[in-house]
A and B are shown apart, each in its own frame.
Chain A
Amino acid sequence: KQEVTQIPAALSVPEGENLVLNCSFTDSAIYNLQWFRQDPGKGLTSLLLIQSSQREQTSGRLNASLDKSSGRSTLYIAASQPGDSATYLCAVPNSGYALNFGKGTSLLVTP
């Protein structure tokens, strides 16, 4: 069964720092990997989807990389802002039609 792990579980950084969130998965035969953001009490917002054939995907200050062979993806956030504070989740499709989610990294960006 595909296991998705996100480390660290929580992260606190001062405003302006560049930061990296990590996601690892046990089965490298993935179709794609998707990063989401979840604000407290809210739904999931799709940030980036990176296909298995891609190495990187960028959207604004966000950059996601994918290394299938090592079972890892990173989400890079440049010049962090307090508004980036949220929980970030990564997910990969499994064979049973579900998305397998990590437990998330809770990010706090302090002014």
Chain B
Amino acid sequence: NAGVTQTPKFQVLKTGQSMTLQCAQDMNHNSMYWYRQDPGMGLRLIYYSASEGTTDKGEVPNGYNVSRLNKREFSLRLESAAPSQTSVYFCASSEAYGYEAFFGQGTRLTVV
């Protein structure tokens, strides 16, 4: 059972570089989310997609963009990476808002 799959698992970027984090779920969920996890800050929502074709900002959207490519896939793009974006990024999905959420294994991103 794949669940939520994220790629890559690890990435090192130089300041100013761009990259896209990929996420796919195979549970036919409507809602997908991107969180970041930082020591002492816990998990914070970056962007979410309530359903295919919609995306909205979460708590910490600055410096990021997202695309809900189809029902299965939700990508997160860093256009010009900054050291402050060094974090662990998690993709999650749920059937809808308020339903049980399932998380991927995370992408550990370091920006130098």
| A residues whose Cβ falls under 8 Å from a Cβ of B | 31-32, 34, 36, 41-46, 49, 89, 91, 93, 96-99, 101-104
* Chain B contact surface mostly: strand
* Chain A contact surface mostly: strand
A41 neighbours in B (Cβ, 8 Å): 108
CB distance from A74 to the nearest CB of B (A): 19
CB distance from B66 to the nearest CB of A (A): 13
How many residues on chain B are close to A (CB under 8 Å)? 24
Give the complex CA separation of A80 and B97 in angstroms: 33
| B residues whose Cβ falls under 8 Å from a Cβ of A | 4, 33, 40, 42-45, 48, 50, 56, 58-59, 90, 92, 97-98, 100-106, 108
User: Is the beta-carbon distance between A49 and B42 smaller than 8 angstroms?
Assistant: no
Given contacts A43-B103, A46-B102, A97-B50, 13 further A-B contacts (CB under 8 A): A34-B100, A36-B103, A42-B106, A43-B90, A43-B104, A44-B92, A46-B100, A89-B43, A93-B98, A97-B45, A97-B56, A99-B101, A104-B42
A49 neighbours in B (Cβ, 8 Å): 100
Give the complex CA separation of A42 and B46 in angstroms: 19
Give the complex CA separation of A41 and B50 in angstroms: 28
